Amino acid sequence: MTDQSAESSNAGSAFQQQLQRARSGDRAALERVLAHSRQDLRRYAEYHCEINDVEDAVQESLLLISRKLGGLRALEAYTSWLFRIIKRECNRLKRARRHLVLLPTLEEIDGPYYPAPDGLLRDVAAALAAMPAHYREIVLLRDLEGLTIAEIATQLDLHPEAAKARLHRARSLARQYLSPAPEIPEALTVAG
């Protein structure tokens, strides 16, 4: 027998002794057994439980193991018993979540409050929405995101001079739309 297999055998028999003491009511041995088992339970739960239920499943399983270890007939079956417990707990939590999702909500939950745009803000939003996409994009990149002409040209795959010209045309179009003149450029009319 090699040194590694002898160490493994000694570790296994030491754990069996801890299990026997824990089963007999030794509180310190029970704590060591639960600490040793926690890692295996967590690893199993991470694959079989919902991500938010992992820690709950582990805690509930450890609690059940601590209460029922005295009733375990064959200590050799401890590992499979451990995994059956965590599997059942994961399934129980999944069923509870499924049941919870099917319950109707009695009151609506309000999202964040955004006041309706008014005045100039509403007009600018309408002008941007009415612009052709290539003009809207360049205005947003320059004025909202603060990119330089060189960065915009690179992102849009344009020559820097073409990017400047497109930005100038987009701003002119927006100015025409925002001006109090009664005539709205045809490119900005919204199809209704």
pLDDT values of the chain reduced to their tens digit, one per residue, 192 residues: 555 555 556 666 788 898 899 888 889 999 999 999 999 899 888 888 888 888 999 999 999 999 988 888 888 888 889 989 999 998 888 888 776 665 555 555 455 555 666 677 788 888 888 889 899 999 989 988 888 999 999 999 999 999 999 999 999 998 888 887 555 566 666 554
With H, G, I as helix, E, B as strand and everything else as coil, classify residue 1. coil
- Report d(CA 47, CA 25) in Å as an integer: 32
- pTM equals 0.47
- Report d(CA 170, CA 136) in Å as an integer: 7
Task: Decide if 185 contacts 132 (C-beta within 8 A).
Answer: no
The dihedral built from the CA positions of residue 99, 102, 106 and 110, taken in this order, carries a sign that is positive
Domains of the chain: 12-102 (1.10.1740.10), 120-188 (1.10.10.10)
DSSP H helices in 49-159:
54-68, 78-102, 120-130, 133-139, 149-156
